């Protein structure tokens, strides 16, 4: 996506960005006008503004006074799925604070502006416009849904516009003349966030419910009478005297129906009184407002009671069971009806069986209820994250991070485990009450997936350079720095002027090591294209700088003192340990004191596979695993040994650069030259890191 400086761009440049880059319908607008727009835009709700029409508006200067965008479905042609624009108009500081808190305790609008498009007036930090994309249409929220008090500060005040019937002024001055400023460029508006923000409406609902504001709970189109009732507050328009009573009756019925389950009656009454005082040409008498409120409470209460009774006595399907309301569940059997339920009342994972009884006084009425037949877990999932490995060449088991709430209300989290391992961990925590908990947990996870309550995480748990599905280079968990020329020059000077004299008569060893070390971190990209980088095998007499040469290579990335990258054969002397060592990073590893004998023949075969293949080995993680798991061969290896490599194994020798260190290159540990060289490396090796930083930046 091309970006521009939205705060300093011309009106036409902003319009082009919205039309061409974000694929939105942008139309001319004038915020000073009562209706905002300068054209009729109804026909653009379901069709794209043509490029010709867009250019005409630009040429005629129609965007100079302001512009608006139509929310809802966008007009991408390069994606195989629909993308929808959601706009949130925040009207007080509390709403902004609650929204930011969804992204972490330290989140601010300024920080979120990297991922969302956000504009705000510099002279008013209590208001803001936020824009983002979702795969499905976000539920609208009109200001009528906000049970605001008279001071307007004790509840969040906000409006969500998300379908084609609503517009939002953007990149335009406010109607009072002050200008909005963009807090950032929203440069990562498309970087995986389209999927992430699909879950945002559930998070918004969670904080609105704290203030008694119904959002996802009830339908916007039902006011309790089955009539369509929508009302947008507009300070410039007042309800006429002849329409006050009927309007307030409909509004009260709608508000009571939406809020009665979670909001104190006094708070609902405050909202009704607020509308009466602020949106009527003349307020109704207090006694009449009280009567309208009392009637709404009685009417809606009886209506809801009748609906719930009808659902339970005559309903069809799971909704007739009160035990399933507000719970996550999955039906596992039809006859008899059986359900696995994450019961939020008891925080237990249960199995229920459907029962029914005929009412003697009225045989036509059948009462349905559920019986608790099994309790599998003393906890239920509260948040589920599924980790999807983006390295598609690997066969890996599905890993989950699940937060649970137990019967005492305590929350705990099990991170990056298979479901089988999670079930085992729950047993260790004494949360397992009955055998069969594995299957019950699997079933309820599927129910959460069906409700779209499972979040996908595609973070790469490895260090180094990889390629994505489009074969683009993907550096992960690496800090990429632009090289500092003076430091890079110093590193080269160090090699040529200071390190080279210590490799007199063996310059080939030093040059090969440096070049090999510069290439090594992109090993996986070579393997992906049917090439491989040979391992280094340095062998021969002791104290001949074999290990020090390896550490010079590691110093290119500052790893020469890191035990993750400098290890000993005793720490990789089994297939499992070896696989674990080479599967974390594409940067090279030094393994000292390699042993080759009949007992370690597996190591030779393991090495051949690791050097040439993308996987070090394949294993079944446990006896219950249905599919094997591939252990990736990410690291290139520097091996040292006193004994020679297996010359008899041509496959091994073909995959390594074997360099002997003769006695003439060996020094006693107490020799002044050896002591001097060791101290020389200790002090100066950090200077080589500039070369590795240059390589990373260049790649």
CA–CA dist 378, 394 (Å, integer): 35
Helix axes 200-209, 93-101, angle to 10 degrees: 130
Would you call 270 helix, strand, or coil by DSSP?
helix
Whether the per-residue pLDDT at 361 is higher than 70: the answer is no
The pLDDT value recorded for residue 221 is 39
- Tell me how far CA of residue 206 lies from CA of 60, 210, 217, 407, in angstroms: 46, 7, 10, 21
The pLDDT value recorded for residue 187 is 63
| Mean pLDDT value of segment 372-401 | 83
The pLDDT value recorded for residue 310 is 53
Would you give the distance in Å from CA 220 to the centre of its chain? 29
CA–CA dist 112, 183 (Å, integer): 9
Task: Kindly report the three-state secondary structure assignment for every residue of 364-417.
Answer: CCEEEEEEEEEEEECEEEEEEEEECCCCCCCCCCCEEEEEEEECCCCEEEEEEE
Q: Are strands 338-343 and 158-161 parallel, antiparallel or unpaired?
A: unpaired
Residue 597 CB burial class (10 angstroms; 0-12, 13-18, ≥19) = exposed
Which of 17-21, 67-71, 135-139, 418-422 is least confident? Answer: 135-139
pLDDT band at 365 (very low <50, low <70, confident <90, very high): low
CA–CA dist 119, 534 (Å, integer): 54
Would you call 158 helix, strand, or coil by DSSP?
strand
Residue 180 is given by DSSP the state P
Which of 92-96, 141-145, 593-597 is least confident? Answer: 141-145
Q: What angle do CA 122, 127, 133 make, to 5 degrees?
A: 105
CA–CA dist 60, 582 (Å, integer): 64
CA–CA dist 148, 267 (Å, integer): 8
Q: Count CB neighbours of 88 within 10 A.
A: 24
Tens digit of each residue's pLDDT (9 = 90 or more) over 452-498: 888 888 777 789 988 876 778 888 888 898 889 999 999 999 999 99
The pLDDT value recorded for residue 519 is 95
Whether the per-residue pLDDT at 662 is higher than 80: the answer is yes
Q: Got the DSSP string for 47-109? A: SPPPHHHHHHHHHTTTTSS-EEEE-EE---SS-SS--EEEEEEE-SHHHHHHHHHTT-TT--H
| Mean pLDDT value of segment 88-117 | 87
Whether the per-residue pLDDT at 626 is higher than 90: the answer is no
Exposure string over 631-657, b if 16+ CB within 10 A, otherwise e: bbbbbbbbbbbeeebbeebeebeebbe
Helix axes 286-314, 244-259, angle to 10 degrees: 40
The pLDDT value recorded for residue 479 is 87
Which of 177-181, 197-201, 305-309 is least confident? Answer: 305-309
pLDDT band at 395 (very low <50, low <70, confident <90, very high): low
CA–CA dist 28, 54 (Å, integer): 10
Whether the per-residue pLDDT at 590 is higher than 90: the answer is yes
Whether the per-residue pLDDT at 217 is higher than 60: the answer is no
Which of 21-25, 204-208, 524-528, 623-627 is least confident? Answer: 623-627
CA–CA dist 458, 391 (Å, integer): 10
Across 136-145, 558-567, 601-610, which has the greatest mean pLDDT? 558-567
Greatest alpha-carbon span in the chain: 109
- Tell me how far CA of residue 106 lies from CA of 34, 91, 129, 187, in angstroms: 38, 21, 20, 20
The pLDDT value recorded for residue 197 is 66
167: CB partners within 8 A, 6+ apart: 27, 29, 36, 37, 41, 68, 69, 70, 71, 161
The pLDDT value recorded for residue 210 is 72
Q: Which residue has the higher pLDDT, 84 or 395?
A: 84
Expressed in angstroms, the distance from the first to the final Cα of the chain is: 22
| Mean pLDDT value of segment 341-363 | 82
Q: Which residues pair with 352 in a beta bridge?
A: 339, 372
Which residue, among 166, 213, 193, has the nearest Cα to 35 in the 3D structure?
Answer: 166
pLDDT band at 2 (very low <50, low <70, confident <90, very high): confident
Percent of the chain clearing pLDDT 70 (strictly above): 85
Say what the alpha-carbon torsion angle 494, 498, 499, 505 is, to the nearest 10 degrees: 140
Tens digit of each residue's pLDDT (9 = 90 or more) over 114-152: 888 899 988 888 889 999 888 888 888 876 444 444 344
Whether the per-residue pLDDT at 364 is higher than 70: the answer is no
Say what the alpha-carbon torsion angle 289, 295, 296, 302 is, to the nearest 10 degrees: 170
CA–CA dist 593, 639 (Å, integer): 8
Q: Which residue has the higher pLDDT, 178 or 139?
A: 139
The pLDDT value recorded for residue 219 is 41
The pLDDT value recorded for residue 448 is 92
Which residue, among 552, 559, 532, 564, has the nearest Cα to 636 in the 3D structure?
Answer: 532
Average pLDDT score, the chain? 83
Q: Are 612 and 655 in contact (CB under 8 A)?
A: yes
The pLDDT value recorded for residue 150 is 39
Across 42-46, 101-105, 236-240, 664-668, which has the greatest mean pLDDT? 664-668
- Tell me how far CA of residue 380 lies from CA of 413, 441, 443, 444, in angstroms: 11, 9, 12, 9
- Establish whether the linkage from the previous residue to 336 is cis, with ω within 30° of 0: yes
Q: Which residue has the higher pLDDT, 103 or 175?
A: 103
The pLDDT value recorded for residue 225 is 37
Task: Kindly report the three-state secondary structure assignment for every residue of 495-561.
Answer: HHHHHHHHHCCCHHHHHHHHHHHHHHHHHHHHHHCCCCCCEEEEEECCCCCHHHHHHHHHHCCCCCC
Whether the per-residue pLDDT at 192 is higher than 60: the answer is no
| Mean pLDDT value of segment 264-282 | 85
pTM metric for this prediction: 0.46
| Mean pLDDT value of segment 287-292 | 89
Whether the per-residue pLDDT at 401 is higher than 90: the answer is yes
CA–CA dist 263, 147 (Å, integer): 9
| Mean pLDDT value of segment 607-626 | 75
Both tokens of residue 443?
């079933």
Helix axes 244-259, 265-278, angle to 10 degrees: 150
Residue 307 is given by DSSP the state H
Whether the per-residue pLDDT at 338 is higher than 70: the answer is yes
The pLDDT value recorded for residue 441 is 94
Whether the per-residue pLDDT at 244 is higher than 90: the answer is no
């Amino acid at each position: 996506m091309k970006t521009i400086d939205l705060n300093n761009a011309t009106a036409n440049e902003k319009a082009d960005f919205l039309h061409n880059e974000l694929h939105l319908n942008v139309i001319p607008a004038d915020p000073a006008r009562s209706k905002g727009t300068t054209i009729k835009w109804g026909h653009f709700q379901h069709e794209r503004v043509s490029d010709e029409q867009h250019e005409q508006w630009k040429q005629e200067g129609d965007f100079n006074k302001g512009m608006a965008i139509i929310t809802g479905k966008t007009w991408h042609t390069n994606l195989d799925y629909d993308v929808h624009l959601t706009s949130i108009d925040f009207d007080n500081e509390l709403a902004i604070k609650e929204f930011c808190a969804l992204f972490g305790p330290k989140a601010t609008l300024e920080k979120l502006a990297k991922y969302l498009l956000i504009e705000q007036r510099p002279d008013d930090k209590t208001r803001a416009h936020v824009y983002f994309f979702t795969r499905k249409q976000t539920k609208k929220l009109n200001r009528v849904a906000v049970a605001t008090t008279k001071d307007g500060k004790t509840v969040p005040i906000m409006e969500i516009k998300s379908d084609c019937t609503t517009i939002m002024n953007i990149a335009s001055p406010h109607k009072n003349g002050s200008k909005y400023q963009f807090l950032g460029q929203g440069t990562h508006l498309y970087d995986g966030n389209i999927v992430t923000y699909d879950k945002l409406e559930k998070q918004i609902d969670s904080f609105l419910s704290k203030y008694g504001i119904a959002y996802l709970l009830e339908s916007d189109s039902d006011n309790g009478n089955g009539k369509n009732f929508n009302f947008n507050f507009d300070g410039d328009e007042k309800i006429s005297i002849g329409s006050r009573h009927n309007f307030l009756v409909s509004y009260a019925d709608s508000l009571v129906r939406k809020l009665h389950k979670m909001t104190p009656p006094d708070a609902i009454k405050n909202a009704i009184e607020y509308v009466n005082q602020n949106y009527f040409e003349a307020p109704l008498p207090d006694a009449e407002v009280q009567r309208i409120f009392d009637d709404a409470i009685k009417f809606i209460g009886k209506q809801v009671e009748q609906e719930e009774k009808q659902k339970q006595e005559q309903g069809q399907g799971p909704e007739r069971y009160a035990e399933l309301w507000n719970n996550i569940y999955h039906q596992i059997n039809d006859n008899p009806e059986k359900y696995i339920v994450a019961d939020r009342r008891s925080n237990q994972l249960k199995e229920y069986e459907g029962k029914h009884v005929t009412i003697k006084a009225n045989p036509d009425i059948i009462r349905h209820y559920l019986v608790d037949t099994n309790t599998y877990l003393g906890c239920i999932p509260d948040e589920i994250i599924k980790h999807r490995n983006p390295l598609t060449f690997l066969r890996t088991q599905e890993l989950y991070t699940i937060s649970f709430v137990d019967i005492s209300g305590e929350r705990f989290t099990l991170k990056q485990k298979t479901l089988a391992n999670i079930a085992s961990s729950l047993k260790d925590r004494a949360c397992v009450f009955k055998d069969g908990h594995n299957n019950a947990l699997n079933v309820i996870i599927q129910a959460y997936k069906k409700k779209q309550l499972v979040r996908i995480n595609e973070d790469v748990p490895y260090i180094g350079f990889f390629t994505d599905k489009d074969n683009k280079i993907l550096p992960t968990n690496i800090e990429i720095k632009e090289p500092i020329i003076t430091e890079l020059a110093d590193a080269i000077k160090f090699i040529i002027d200071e390190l080279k004299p210590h490799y007199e008569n063996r310059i080939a060893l030093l040059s090969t090591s440096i070049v090999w070390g510069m290439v090594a971190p992109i090993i996986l990209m070579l393997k992906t294209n049917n090439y491989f980088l040979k391992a280094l095998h340095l062998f021969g007499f002791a104290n001949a700088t074999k290990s020090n040469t390896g550490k010079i290579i590691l110093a290119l990335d500052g790893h020469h003192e890191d035990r993750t990258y400098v290890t000993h054969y005793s720490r990789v002397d089994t297939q499992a340990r070896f696989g674990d060592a080479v599967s974390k990073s594409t940067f090279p590893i030094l393994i000292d004191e390699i042993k080759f004998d009949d007992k370690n023949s597996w190591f030779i075969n393991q090495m051949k596979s690791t050097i040439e293949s993308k996987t070090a080995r394949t294993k079944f993680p446990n006896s219950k695993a249905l599919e094997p798991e591939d252990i990736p061969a990410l690291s290139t290896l520097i091996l040292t040994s006193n004994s020679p490599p297996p010359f008899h194994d041509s496959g091994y020798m073909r995959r390594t650069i074997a360099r002997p260190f003769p006695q003439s290159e060996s020094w006693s540990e107490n020799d002044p030259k050896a002591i001097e060289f060791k101290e020389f490396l200790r002090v100066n090796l950090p200077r080589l890191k500039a070369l590795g930083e240059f390589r990373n930046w260049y790649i």
